């Protein structure tokens, strides 16, 4: 079956622009996670969605970052007024509750 997909695979933007990153989780997975991986660094938790519960936004680094999950499926991570330090690979993962996470291929964001 299809795994987690993310789009775009690469995104180059200018400083100050807004970007939207999309994640399509595995069908039936109620949990969805967003992570950020900077070059040579470990994964950094950003936000977690579980079913219809309020999302855990504790990892979002600033109010320029936000995420939505529509209909309990597709999720969009939005970064407003991008900065150069936002350059990283943004990974999405989905799972059944308390089960193994399956990761997407990531979106490589470059802010010039």
Q: What minimum distance in Å lies between the beta carbon of 68 and other proteins?
A: 18
Q: Is 97 in the site for other proteins (CB under 8 A)?
A: yes
Q: Rounded CA gap, 3 and 86, in Å?
A: 26
Pairing of strands 102-103, 107-111: unpaired
Among 13, 56, 64, 76, binds other proteins (CB under 8 A): 56
Q: What minimum distance in Å lies between the beta carbon of 2 and other proteins?
A: 14
Among 36, 42, 9, CA closest to 24: 9
Closer to other proteins at the Cβ: 85 or 100?
A: 100
Taking 3-state DSSP, the helix, strand and coil percentages for the chain, each rounded to the nearest 5, stand at 5, 50, 45
- Per CB under 8 A, residues contacting other proteins are 4, 31, 33, 35, 40-45, 48, 50, 56, 91, 93, 97-98, 100-106
């Amino acid at each position: 079956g299809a795994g987690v997909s993310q789009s775009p695979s690469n995104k180059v933007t200018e400083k100050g622009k807004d970007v939207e990153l999309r994640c399509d989780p595995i069908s039936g997975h109620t949990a969805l996670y967003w992570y950020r991986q900077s070059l040579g660094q470990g994964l950094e938790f950003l936000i977690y969605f579980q079913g219809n519960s309020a999302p855990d936004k504790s990892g979002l680094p600033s109010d320029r970052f936000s995420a939505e999950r529509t209909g309990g499926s597709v999720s969009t991570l939005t970064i407003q007024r991008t900065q150069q330090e936002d350059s990283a690979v943004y990974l999405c993962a989905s799972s059944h509750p308390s089960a193994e996470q399956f990761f997407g291929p990531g979106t490589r964001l470059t802010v010039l």
